[in-house]
């Protein structure tokens, strides 16, 4: 049953338009400069772990007491079959393995002609969707002893960007593309979601896309463990992308490998349509310029989810759906979905350098938790821009991978609205005169919460970060 504008307006009547319905919502981060203001209000005790210390090895700057270990590095470390680790590390998930082993599934955001990619995902027999495609996933087995093993989870896919874990212990990897057969030599259509099982290699054989989830420039996906809905983001423009929800068919039971049994048109794929507390339609998420803004959400059914003739996002006219530029990472936590919009520029009604929203499926509301103003000088350390991959921290708040311009960080954000750096990328892929620092990606904690994994996307280096983790401040 949809949440009507009248119902939303009624429950919002006691507040100003766009302000939280039930008081303070606990903003997680703010525009550049707000951290200093917050410290002034709440005393000199800053959140986080102190200043970042430059790394003599030129990899990661970390706070005092923290260390890192390189697990995989494209073109350097090897898979168990002898091929080099593929490049362009992206979305990552962790799973508890036997005898203290941590299993990680790692996306490789590789695109274009396979022959032109330096280190594509190897075409392991039985695990290939399209032999002309360079992307896919690897599975990394990290032992307490320091030993690391790697193998292919899926190959022959394109631009595997983010994705999401499932409650039944698998990884959903997302293709951020709309390329069809014939483009870049591809032999099959792309732009789908695939399931990868880190525990059972046989389950990954003969991969097939979950076409019920649609074909578009997928970014991330999460599963509502209570209702069975899947939420998905689309990283696209002209026009801007959409937030999707897939509702399973009546009687469908989730479980290991069950998504692969679905018919291509199973369930219902929908796109979000938002309205403010006055019942006014919201055309783009960038309209929200205040932390705590709350929108009601309806869902409009996608006419042709496989986009046979027209891209899914172009199947809706003005006034039918709400759009957002650079809809990126997602993570399930606190009974709902954290959703990132990395930035908005001229293609959007308002400009920003990052939003994080929280969708509450029970109340059917979308609340703005993080808002980063446009960073005036990304080359200088101290301000943040371009949030991308995201995870909920076992120590409170969020950990965000920065994918902006200039300096790149891993950022912590407390429930009380204070931000702090966890790491800074010091691996220069440019020159001394024109430095270039790649984005962070694949931020995720180990199952026991002791290790934070993250990657520098280019050339593709995965780190295991450990240190004196502690609970971060809550709401004030």
Give the separation between CA 417 and CA 396, rounded to whole angstroms.
12
pLDDT at 474: 53
pLDDT, one tens digit per residue, over 380-422 is 887 889 999 999 999 999 999 999 889 999 999 888 667 899 9
What tokens appear for 82 in the block? Answer: 């002898």
pLDDT at 382: 79
Helix, strand or coil, per DSSP, at residue 193: strand
φ and ψ at 445, to 5 degrees? Answer: -90, 155
Lowest mean pLDDT segment, chosen from 216-225, 251-260, 411-420: 411-420
What tokens appear for 99 in the block? Answer: 């005898």
Name the band, by pLDDT with cuts 50, 70 and 90, for residue 17.
very low
Note whether 258 and 166 are within 8 A (CB). Answer: no
Spell out the residues 6+ positions from residue 218 whose beta carbon is closer than 8 angstroms to its own. 161, 174, 175, 176, 191, 192, 193, 232, 233, 234, 235
Cis peptide leading into 439, omega within 30 of 0?
no
What tokens appear for 94 in the block? Answer: 């962790």
State pTM to two decimals. Answer: 0.92
What are the b/e assignments for 78-87, b being 16+ CB within 10 Å? ebeeebbbbb
pLDDT at 3: 55
What tokens appear for 20 in the block? Answer: 């939280």
| pLDDT at residue 30 is higher than 80 | no
Note whether 297 and 366 are within 8 A (CB). Answer: yes
For the chain, the 3-state helix, strand and coil shares in percent, each to the nearest 5, are: 10, 35, 55
Ranges of each domain in the chain: 5-89+203-466, 90-202
Note whether 92 and 453 are within 8 A (CB). Answer: yes
What tokens appear for 238 in the block? Answer: 């002209």
E strands in 276-310? 281-282, 294-301
Mean pLDDT of 317-343: 96
What tokens appear for 466 in the block? Answer: 């450990």
pLDDT at 13: 42
Beta bridge partners of 233: 243
| pLDDT at residue 9 is higher than 50 | no
Share of the chain above pLDDT 70, in %: 90
Spell out the residues 6+ positions from residue 238 whose beta carbon is closer than 8 angstroms to its own. 347
In 10 A of CB 169, how many CB atoms? 16
Give the separation between CA 217 and CA 239, rounded to whole angstroms.
12
Share of the chain above pLDDT 90, in %: 83
Average pLDDT, the chain: 90
Cis peptide leading into 142, omega within 30 of 0?
no
| pLDDT at residue 22 is higher than 70 | no
Helix, strand or coil, per DSSP, at residue 74: coil
What are the b/e assignments for 9-31, b being 16+ CB within 10 Å? bebbeeeeebbbbeeebbbbbbb
Note whether 341 and 323 are within 8 A (CB). Answer: no
pLDDT at 378: 87
pLDDT at 7: 56
| pLDDT at residue 435 is higher than 70 | yes
């Amino acid at each position: 049953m949809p949440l009507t504008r009248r119902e939303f307006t009624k429950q919002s009547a006691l507040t100003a338009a766009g302000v939280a319905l039930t008081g303070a919502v606990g903003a997680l981060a703010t525009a550049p400069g707000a951290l200093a203001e917050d410290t002034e209000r709440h005393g000199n005790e800053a959140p986080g772990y102190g200043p970042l210390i430059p790394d003599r090895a030129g990899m990661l700057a970390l706070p005092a007491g923290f260390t890192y270990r390189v697990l995989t590095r494209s073109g350097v470390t090897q898979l168990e079959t002898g091929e080099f680790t593929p490049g362009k590390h992206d979305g990552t998930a962790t799973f508890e393995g036997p005898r203290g082993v941590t299993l990680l599934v790692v996306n490789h955001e590789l695109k274009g002609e396979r022959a032109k990619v330096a280190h594509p995902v190897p075409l392991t027999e039985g695990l290939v969707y399209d032999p002309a495609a360079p992307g896919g996933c690897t599975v990394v087995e990290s032992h307490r002893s320091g030993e690391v093993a790697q193998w292919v989870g899926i190959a022959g896919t394109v631009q595997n960007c983010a994705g999401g874990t499932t409650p039944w212990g698998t990884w959903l990897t997302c293709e951020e593309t709309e390329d069809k057969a014939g483009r870049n030599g591809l032999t099959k259509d792309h732009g789908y979601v695939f399931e990868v099982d880190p525990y059972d290699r046989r389950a990954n054989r003969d991969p097939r896309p979950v076409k019920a989830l649609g074909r578009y420039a997928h970014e991330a996906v999460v599963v509502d463990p209570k209702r069975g809905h899947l939420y998905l983001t689309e990283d696209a423009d002209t026009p801007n992308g959409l937030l999707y929800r897939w509702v399973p068919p009546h009687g469908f039971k989730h479980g290991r490998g069950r998504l692969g049994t679905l018919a291509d048109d199973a369930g219902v794929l929908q796109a979000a349509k938002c309205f403010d507390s006055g019942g006014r339609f919201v055309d783009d998420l960038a309209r929200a310029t205040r932390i705590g803004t709350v929108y009601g959400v309806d869902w409009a059914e996608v006419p042709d989810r496989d986009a046979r003739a027209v891209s899914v996002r172009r199947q809706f006219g003005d006034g039918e759906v709400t759009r957002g530029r650079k809809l990126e990472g997602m993570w399930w936590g606190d009974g709902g979905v954290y959703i990132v919009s990395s930035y908005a520029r001229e293609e959007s009604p308002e400009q920003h350098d990052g939003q994080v929203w929280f969708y509450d499926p029970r109340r059917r509301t979308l609340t703005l938790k993080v808002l980063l103003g446009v960073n005036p000088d990304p080359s200088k350390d101290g301000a943040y821009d371009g949030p991308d991959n995201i995870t909920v921290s076992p120590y409170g708040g969020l950990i965000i991978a920065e994918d902006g311009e200039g300096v790149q960080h891993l950022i912590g954000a407390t429930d009380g609205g204070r931000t702090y750096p966890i790491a800074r990328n010091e691996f220069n892929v440019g020159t001394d005169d024109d430095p270039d620092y790649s984005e962070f990606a694949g931020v995720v904690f180990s199952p026991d919460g002791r290790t934070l994994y993250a990657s520098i996307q280019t050339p593709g280096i995965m780190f295991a970060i450990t240190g004196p983790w502690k609970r971060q401040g809550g709401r004030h």
